Amino acid sequence: MTALKVLLLIILVIAALVALIAAYFLWRMNRLYRQGAFLCSYRPDVTSGWTEGCAVYEAESLNWYKAAALSFRPDKTWPRRKIELGKVHNYLSKKGIRNVAVPVTVDTHRFWLFLSEDDHAGLVSWAEAAPPREIPQSWG
């Protein structure tokens, strides 16, 4: 084999690996969107940068998945009953899309989520519609 053929073979193998990884990421995100995922960036505090990802509502938790990850397990999981949403900060993108940044508190841990205005409305509805934690005494 000549050096040129070896080089072409190496380039072909690298290109195939890149294509497989890209296809996997697209398949993973498509699978999450079929579960009802919505775009949602996360940052642990106001001094950190945003990490892109998506979130999925479950019956008793909100699961957040990092966009650039190989795992199908959520990177963050927050119990529905403990999520407290703070004051909304509105942003308008250059394309005219309305987004919001909202502080979230779970127990004593505070972090931020960045999502579309519509997805925020869904998050508020989901959080407020949680079933009661216990049966009222007047029912017994």
CATH number, domain of 98, equals 2.30.29.30
Side chain identity at residue 114, one-letter code: F
Instruction: Mark residue 103 as left, alpha or beta (left: phi above 0; alpha: psi -120 to 50; beta: remaining).
Output: beta
Residues 66 and 110 in one domain: yes
Residue 4 lies in a domain: yes
Residue 140 lies in a domain: no
Q: Provide the pLDDT for residue 25.
A: 82
User: Domain of 102?
Assistant: 37-132
Residues 10 and 56 in one domain: no
Check pLDDT > 90 for residue 9: yes
Residues 6+ apart with CB under 8 A from 82: 106, 107
Residue 71 lies in a domain: yes
Residue 139 lies in a domain: no
Global pTM exceeds 0.85? no
Helix (H) or strand (E) segment spanning residue 104? strand 98-106
Check pLDDT > 70 for residue 29: yes
Beta bridge partners of 83: 106
Q: Provide the pLDDT for residue 113.
A: 98
Residues 51 and 97 in one domain: yes
Residue 3 lies in a domain: yes
Residues 97 and 49 in one domain: yes
Please give the tally of structural domains in the chain.
Answer: 2
Residue 137 lies in a domain: no
Reference 111, options 61, 59, 22, 40; nearest CA is 40
Residue found by looking up tokens 């959520």 in the block: 74
- The fraction of the chain above a pLDDT of 90, given in percent, is 65
Residue 5 lies in a domain: yes
The arithmetic mean of pLDDT across residues 4-25, rounded, is 92
Reference 84, options 49, 140, 42, 128; nearest CA is 128
Q: What's the helix, strand, coil split of the chain in %, to 5? A: 35, 30, 30
